Chain A
Amino acid sequence: MDELIQHLANALILGGTYALLGIGLTLIFGIMNVVNFTHGALYTVGAYVMYLAVAGLGLNFFLALPVAILGGLLLGAAIELLLLRPFRGSDIDTTMLVMIAAGIILQSGTLWTFGGVAKAIPSPFPEAPLQIGPVSLSWLRLFVLGAALALIALSYALINRTKLGLAMRAAFQDADTAALMGVDVRRIYTATFALGSSLAAAAGALLGPVYVVFPQMGGLAELKAFAIVILGGLGNVTGAAIGGFILALAEEFGAGYVSSGYRDAMGFLIIITVLLCKPTGLFARAERIG
């Protein structure tokens, strides 16, 4: 029983960052119809900006996090302006390949700049975990969960409460009609991609201090993000948030009770099962976001 509660707590903490990854990817797919293969690289970049800010510049840990998110935002905007805007109107395979190429460039770039040796990000939290009855939780992981939940709430507020979010929802439903109504769809695309990228970078910056930072860390994160998005239904933001927690639960229990070697296989087994039983994802593709 104690073990069960511990696994649940771990899954909850991991699920927050997974949800961030999934929301970013599903927003970009839903609004722009782009399969974003730079998502993993942006996750990696977020972690490295965090590493540079904390270990390199000696910046305060809590200040470094917004810096990393801002880094993801700017990089995402740059990718959209330089690579996606010229290919607007191409079919989905072409933009996907452009994103694959950009992902290769980003990943090789980080490998070239930082080398292949894994780096650790020092955290200001005490080593001793917080004990609540039988469950022990590290302070760092609790902070990660809190920050992830805050960012998820911020994204929801942005999508549902702001004018930009209204324009994004309009573009999601019908880009042509939105453009007729005076929405500058090109700017919405840039904003969407930048927002999705900043969420990926945030996930990397949050998980970087928990694990270690290395150039290939984004590969598996990207595959997991795809898994989450499929689970939740393509383009479904709430579905992605829930999907993130489901994946974390499956991984945590799979690793705890089946075999730790197959931890990362759990998500993919879920996807295959979901597609067998309910091919449109657990939560069908949203007609509207928010």
Chain B
Amino acid sequence: MSRFLPLALLAGLVVLPLALGPNPYLLNALIVTGILTIGAMSLNLLLGYTGQLSLGHIAFFGIGAYVSALTSLGFDVEIGFGLRVVHAPWPAAVGFLLATVAAGSCGYLIGRLSFRVRGAYFVIVTISFAEVVRLVALNWVELTQGPLALTNIPAITLGLPGLGMWTLKTKLQNYYLVLAVGTLCYGVIARLVGSQFGRAMRGLKENEPLALSVGINATRTLTVAAVISAAMAGAAGSLYAHYLRIIDPDVFLFATTVSMVIMVVAGGKGTLLGPIVGGLIFGLLPVALRPVMAPEAQWIVYGLVLIVILFVMPRGIVPGLSGLLGRRSAPTVPVLEASPAVQR
């Protein structure tokens, strides 16, 4: 993978709103797509690099959204035995940090619980967890307003040195906020994957008994990956809450997890750019289809496109395309990829 490709993509995304001009509809679609893409990147850390599929990833996203919203709105609930918890509103930026921490903690719990066994169990524990959290959000009306939704969530305010306080209210400001957080997450994942920890993750995915035999602590490695992944999903959820400024229990819908999985696998799991490419394609596909067909038909096309991609490029778009390009220009790529391990 070329080193310049991510930078070129970033540059393209920075100038994109300028090229589009004032187009609130498209900008909105880009922001939501960007937020989901951060979710997909976090999912890729687990699915692509450790091989563990979290089908309840939306739980971490939704927990981030609710924690962030409740931190910045304040609440007053009775928790039983006559005890009340009263919380005064805090700045939204604090909510963002707490959302990340809360989602990461949930990732820790789920990891400790389910990485004792392998295979389909992690999938089902994460699905179950997401469904329980959704039902709590729906039924704990005193805290979450249930189906009435949390409204009037404040926009994120940033204090920039020398520039005073900025309240990110416009779509353009939110676009750049999402892009900044996305770039940060990309950087963290890239560093992580290239580190010794990243090799431990991939070792576990490729051959667990072998990885164990060279002293890799499987449960710890997988749990740490789950914590980081969940924290990033929580950050994305927080961005979502403060951008839309209203959230209801529908943020926990299973369909959103499915969208993230599609973004990762179609883009290319286990590649840094895969979730971004998949995210942009599948996030913007509904926008492209909207003028031409009914919403139900859009989803049918969405499903068909996914099947075609899986059929033509089973490993995803990014590995598929780089395989095509690599065959033409650089047949020595596998050797180059293997060399760092040899030098060590």
Specify the chain B residue showing the minimal Cβ separation from A33.
B120
**Residues of A bordering B, CB below 8 Å:** 29, 35, 83, 86-87, 90, 93-94, 96-98, 100-105, 107-109, 111-112, 219, 223, 226-227, 230, 234, 259, 261-262, 264-265, 267-269, 271-272, 275-276, 279-280
* Cβ of A25 to closest chain B Cβ, rounded Å: 11
Q: Which one, B258, B266, B269, contacts A104 given CB within 8 A?
A: B258
Q: Contacts A93-B265, A261-B139, A268-B132 given: A223-B127 contact, CB under 8 Å? A: yes
Contacts of A268 in B (CB 8 A): 127-129, 131-132
Main DSSP-derived SS at the A contact region = helix
Specify the chain A residue showing the minimal Cβ separation from B122.
A275
Interface contact B310-A87, CB-CB below 8 Å: yes
Q: Does B297 sit at the interface, judged by CB under 8 A?
A: yes
Interface contact B294-A112, CB-CB below 8 Å: yes
Give bound CA distance, A87 to B310, whole Å: 9
Top 4 A-B pairs ranked by shortest CB distance?
A: A268-B128, A112-B296, A261-B139, A108-B299
Q: Contacts A112-B296, A226-B127, A271-B128 given: A94-B310 contact, CB under 8 Å? A: yes
Give bound CA distance, A156 to B53, whole Å: 32
Specify the chain B residue showing the minimal Cβ separation from A83.
B307
Known: A100-B262, A230-B120. 14 other contacts (CB 8 A): A35-B123, A87-B310, A90-B314, A93-B269, A100-B258, A100-B261, A100-B306, A101-B303, A104-B303, A109-B296, A226-B124, A259-B139, A268-B129, A269-B132
* Cβ of B86 to closest chain A Cβ, rounded Å: 24
- Interface flags for B132-148 (1: CB within 8 Å of A; 0: not) read 10011011000000000
Contacts of B258 in A (CB 8 A): 100, 104
Q: Which one, A97, A111, A265, contacts B261 given CB within 8 A?
A: A97
* 25 A-B contacts (beta carbon < 8 Å): A35-B120, A35-B123, A87-B310, A93-B47, A93-B269, A94-B265, A97-B310, A98-B306, A100-B262, A100-B306, A101-B310, A102-B303, A105-B299, A108-B299, A109-B296, A112-B300, A223-B131, A223-B254, A234-B119, A261-B138, A262-B135, A268-B129, A271-B124, A275-B114, A275-B116
